[in-house]
A and B are shown apart, each in its own frame.
Chain A
Amino acid sequence: MLLSAENLSVSRGGIAVLEGVTLALAPGQALILRGPNGAGKTTLLRTLAGLQPLLKGTLQADEGALVYAGHADGNKGALTVRENLEFWAAIFGGGDVHPAMDTYALASLADRPAAQLSAGQKRRLGLARLIVARRAVWLLDEPTVSLDTAATAMFVAAVRAHLDAGGSAIIATHIELGLDEAAVLDITPFKARVTALDDFDEAFL
């Protein structure tokens, strides 16, 4: 297993959002997270990525195996597309950025400052970072936002290539990716019950 979580409870701002989440990812597997806005998809992904402490349960993952992509792409507008990618490649241990640029058709934009890219091109640059990171588990939070149909197809192809190479991915998304081999996990049933306030707070309410 590349990543497994058992009976996981996650919280945001001190309030439990999800509880009892159990999931496991083997090499070559993809998992699609579904749930309405505010259901806790982002919180779950951030907890899996190690950005937030977990409230309860166990999480088993090799810390060096994960790469996280959130709502913000983390591109620097003053750097060119190539410089942005080369920076992330260096941070994640070096490597060639050309395969990533080819996957997302960024080669013609390589010397353009990231600030001048369109929203979809910025997102493609953000997704290309996943390829240069060369990590086994991709944690993706709504990766297809502002992508057009062609770019979404590029993304699905990149995920497939990653799965075929023995990687895995957890993708929180609202759209149909056409990634039929992926398992789907609807997180709505795991919604945390509102826990009673403890006595100390109640005295003041």
Chain B
Amino acid sequence: MIALLIRDLRLAVRAGGGFGLGLAFFLIVVVLVPFAVGPRADLHRVIAPGVLWLGALLACLLSLDRIFALDHEDGSLDLLATAPLPLEALTCIKALAHWLTTGLPLVLAAPVLGVLMNLPAPGYVPLILSLALGTPALSVIGTFGAALTVGVRRGGLLMSLLVLPLYVPTLIFGAEAARRGADGLSYSTPLIMLAGITCGTIALLPFASAAVVRVNLR
């Protein structure tokens, strides 16, 4: 399992691995929004938590179809499915690798980009907390979406449509926690809800993903 994680991380950081893809997209969204909205610092302050969360979510979505598609194309998914590694473990590792290469960099970049969006000072801690708690759910749900479309050629569109509604609860509670924090209110309730969603998806979805991969390999 560790070997698979190391391989996926290594592949991500090597040429063409798409490590910087999500991060660059996040940066572009957050840099461009103030230009599109216009020079109104008061408005930026209001929309900052939502824009940061939406940017992170879309950046996550961007790299999802790499999770299984590349392994399916070169045949290694077939070989991994016949290897002694259970498919449930495989999907867990794939989600973890996706989070480490996409979600974690987004969490770390968010406070820097918060400055660009004029995020109020009390909003930084809840923003980082909500992203750190919410992005694992995005990776796990995304792995499920990628598993659903594993045999489908150019399945990216289908996968986005399947995954987006599943992302909605995470987005609502994540952005709500960040917004309340930015307004100086208590943000523990949405944060707890977010943590609950993440725990639930991590507990259940790897089994669903593994079952779907098994069906799609037939």
A residues near B, CB below 8 A?
49-53, 64, 66-79, 83, 86-88, 90-93, 129, 133
Contact = CB atoms under 8 A, between A and B. Distances in A.
B4 A73 contact: no
Contact of A76 (B2, B3, B11, B78): B11
A53 B79 contact: no
Contacts of A64: 84
B82 A79 contact: no
A78 B15 contact: yes
Contact of B10 (A50, A79, A92): A79
B4 to A, nearest CB: 7
B89 to A, nearest CB: 11
Contacts of B81: 51
B69 to A, nearest CB: 13
B218 A74 contact: no
Contacts of A67: 82
A93 B79 contact: no
A169 to B, nearest CB: 15
Interface string B190-218: 00000000000000000000000000011
A74 B14 contact: no
B17 interface: yes
Contact of A51 (B7, B17, B74, B78): B78
Interface residues of B, number: 24
Contacts of A133: 83
Nearest to A51: B217
29 contacts: A51-B78, A52-B217, A52-B218, A53-B218, A64-B84, A68-B78, A68-B79, A68-B82, A71-B75, A72-B74, A72-B75, A73-B75, A74-B74, A74-B75, A74-B76, A74-B78, A76-B7, A76-B74, A78-B11, A78-B16, A78-B17, A83-B10, A87-B4, A88-B83, A90-B3, A91-B4, A91-B80, A91-B84, A92-B83
Interface in B58-82: 73-76, 78-82
Interface in B1-25: 2-4, 7, 10-11, 14-17
Nearest to B81: A51
Contact of B82 (A51, A76, A90): A51
B185 interface: no
Contacts of A50: 82
Contacts of B4: 87, 91
Nearest to A90: B3
B85 interface: yes
A129 B79 CA distance: 10
A73 B74 contact: yes
A92 B84 contact: yes
7 shortest A-B CB distances, which residue pairs?
A72-B75, A90-B3, A74-B76, A78-B14, A74-B79, A74-B75, A68-B82
A87 B7 contact: yes
Contacts of B11: 76, 78-79
Contacts of A88: 79, 83
Contacts of B218: 51-53
B140 to A, nearest CB: 22
Nearest to A53: B218
Given A49-B82, A87-B7, 9 more contacts: A51-B78, A51-B217, A70-B79, A72-B75, A79-B7, A87-B3, A88-B83, A91-B3, A91-B83
Contact of A72 (B10, B78, B82, B83): B78
Interface in B113-163: none
A43 B166 CA distance: 35
A91 B82 CA distance: 11
Task: Point out which of B17, B75, B80, B217 has the most chain A C-beta atoms below 10 A from its C-beta.
Answer: B75
